[in-house]
Structures are given as structure tokens and as C-alpha cells.
Amino acid sequence: MTTIHSLLKELDAPAEVVSPTGETKTASVKSSGLDAAIDSAMAQLSPEKTASAAPPQGTPLGDLTKLAQETIARDAEGDIKLARRMGSAFSDSMMERLDLYKSASKKVKQEKKASLSQDKVAVMEKFASENPNQFNTLVKEGYDQEMAKMQKTAEAVYQENFEKTSQLIHTAAAEHFVEGWTKTAAILSEV
């Protein structure tokens, strides 16, 4: 592959010129200051250089390279900081929105509950005023049913706790009996 650098080297090489008389002369192309600057710049940009090789400091190319590297580093740091700020802002706004939804749902739930209980109370009051005897009978039946349920539950809890307590007492008494029997047998065997 032909590069600009290799073409410039070919131009700097002495060329053979054939005159009309048939004589062969070697002519050299004189390098100007521009050619020297181009060669210097091309040498710095040559593909044989590795990526880790930095251009010499104090040269325009070195200064530009250093400036570009610093700009890229600052730009990357800025992108990272920007991403962090955007992430924080997003999560903060999302949490704020969730709090708004939560408080709105609580408010709606309380309003709904209040309206339902007020509606039930209004219906019950209307029924009680229209049918006082039937209302009193239903209240007494409901009270009696709930009392029966509570008594049944209380008896079940009492029975369960009584059985557990009795079992614990029996187990403790048996352990003490066995321990006392063992100690008594040990004392009698010594005599």
C-alpha cells in the first residue's frame, strides 16, 4: 500500500534523466523547507508508530494531541457526572410520583370507605325507622350469634391452653420424680 510518506521519499530520491542526445544524467530534486516540514509531520503520523508512543512535547502536533486527550478525558468525566445527575433526578422524581400516587390512593380509599359506611348507616336508620320491631329482633339475633361465636372461641382457647399447661406440669413432675428416684437410689446404695 502506497502512503504519502513513501511517495514523498520517492520524490526526494535522485532521478535519472535521459537527454535528447542519449546521455543519462542523475538529477536530484532539491528539498525545500516545506518538504522538510511535510516529512517531519509525516514521520510523526507514520503508521509504524504504536498508539502508546506520544508525539514530542513542545511541537504543535504534540500540543494538539495533549489538548485532544485532555478534552476527551474531561468530556468522558462530564458524561459520567451528567449520567449520575440524570439518574438521581430520574429516581427522585419517580419516588416523588410514587408518593403522590400512594397519598392519592389512601385519600380515595378513605373517601370510599367513609361513603360506604355513611350509606350503610343511612340504609340501616331508614330500615330501623320503618320496621322497629323487626330491627330490634335482628339486632338481638346478631348479638346472640356473635356472643355464641365468641364464647365458642373462648372455650376452644381455654381448652387448648389448659391441655398445654397440664402437659407441661405433668412433664415437669415426671422429670422431678425420676431425678428424685435416682438420687434416693444413689443414697441408699451408699449405706
Give the pLDDT score at 117: 74
Single-letter residue type at 44: Q
pLDDT at 30 over 50: no
What are the DSSP E strand ranges found in 19-146?
Answer: 24-27
**Distance separating alpha carbons of residues 99 and 91, to the nearest angstrom:** 12
Q: Which residue has the higher pLDDT, 80 or 34?
A: 80
**Distance separating alpha carbons of residues 166 and 163, to the nearest angstrom:** 5
Give 106-133 pLDDT, tens digit per residue. 888 887 777 767 778 788 888 888 988 9
3-state secondary structure at position 25: strand
Single-letter residue type at 75: D
Give 31-68 pLDDT, tens digit per residue. 466 666 666 666 665 555 444 555 666 777 878 888 88
Q: What is the mean pLDDT of residues 88-96?
A: 88
- The label of the residue with cell 325507622 reads 129
Give 178-190 pLDDT, tens digit per residue. 999 998 988 888 8
Give the pLDDT score at 148: 92
